[in-house]
Chain A
């Protein structure tokens, strides 16, 4: 089957029931998305399909019907995505394992809500768990990213 990932087309030989995450990491070499729980209950594996966030550990690759974007595809070469930039400026990550998924959910939120309230952030990010407890910094970074994005930076 053919998958479009981060703007590139890939031909892969995969069982349609294989989770998308397996195809991304093991067949395509995109190791940015992480395996956390395997049951869509932690968010570490979050990627986008046609701009919408999905838990790639639970989405069968045979059901992927659009372009996949991973954490490796949101920033152009030499220019970070505003969410990535804000993540650095706020020094969000501690261990960092969940952050690829956190960032992908935050990107999806800001694509629909330019200036999110605390409630908007809570509603968008509730499925992304961080065992280090970086939630206050995640909230700050999303607000900073919103400002960066609005300013076109």
Chain B
């Protein structure tokens, strides 16, 4: 039979091993942060958001009715002035008003309908690419992570992504949940997934 002291001596190496296997606090935060980022990426990459964050100046249409994603019809573009509000004679707001049309295939609507600035294009990009972009003020509209969280929570055009009207799949979660996920991700160090 082992004495209590002998048991303590024998157990010590196991205790040390267990301690050495315990992730460091920073590593714990990185894992948590990545899981929070995954929630953010699910929203940012969703068609309701990404379809207007385009690099080729042409918004996209996505949905079951379209058989996949396609370029917006009618030769709709960012606009020769780069504004994102369309071209003279055919602005985004020629068809997109401040509320969703109730007609099948009618135009969706929200206040201030326009494309995201060209430097904020991420349609088709990977999680790692979008993550790096979101942290880069040159490519995120010169925003801090707090600014981005507030933009997602409070902007009325962004909010449309969760209320896109009948027949369109909304972005996952909610504006408030995405705001919280960005806050959690930032608090955990805002780590990004490794590029594949």
Contacts and interface: CB of A to CB of B under 8 A. Distances in A.
B140 to A, nearest CB: 28
User: Interface of chain A, helix or strand or loop or mixed?
Assistant: mixed
Contact of A126 (B76, B93, B99): B76
B89 A40 contact: no
Nearest to A122: B75
Contact of A123 (B73, B75, B103): B75
Interface string A103-126: 001101101110000001011111
A106 B89 contact: yes
B105 A41 contact: yes
A108 B89 contact: yes
A81 to B, nearest CB: 15
Interface residues of A, number: 28
Contact of B99 (A41, A55, A60, A113): A60
Contact of B94 (A54, A111, A112): A54
B95 interface: yes
Interface in A62-103: 63
Of B76, B77, B97, the most chain A CB neighbours within 10 A belong to B97
B55 to A, nearest CB: 18
B103 A58 contact: yes
User: Interface of chain B, helix or strand or loop or mixed?
Assistant: loop
Contact of B106 (A40, A46, A108, A109): A40
Contacts of B99: 60, 63
B89 A105 contact: yes
A39 interface: yes
Contact of B97 (A39, A41, A63, A111): A63
A126 B74 contact: yes
A125 B95 contact: no
B63 interface: no
A105 B98 contact: no
A58 B91 CA distance: 15
A40 B101 CA distance: 10
Contacts of A41: 73-74, 105
Interface in B78-111: 80, 87-91, 93-95, 97-99, 101-107
Given A54-B97, A108-B88, 11 more contacts: A40-B94, A40-B107, A52-B94, A58-B103, A63-B98, A112-B89, A120-B88, A122-B75, A124-B87, A124-B89, A127-B90
Interface of A: 17, 38-41, 46, 52-55, 58-60, 63, 105-106, 108-109, 111-113, 120, 122-127
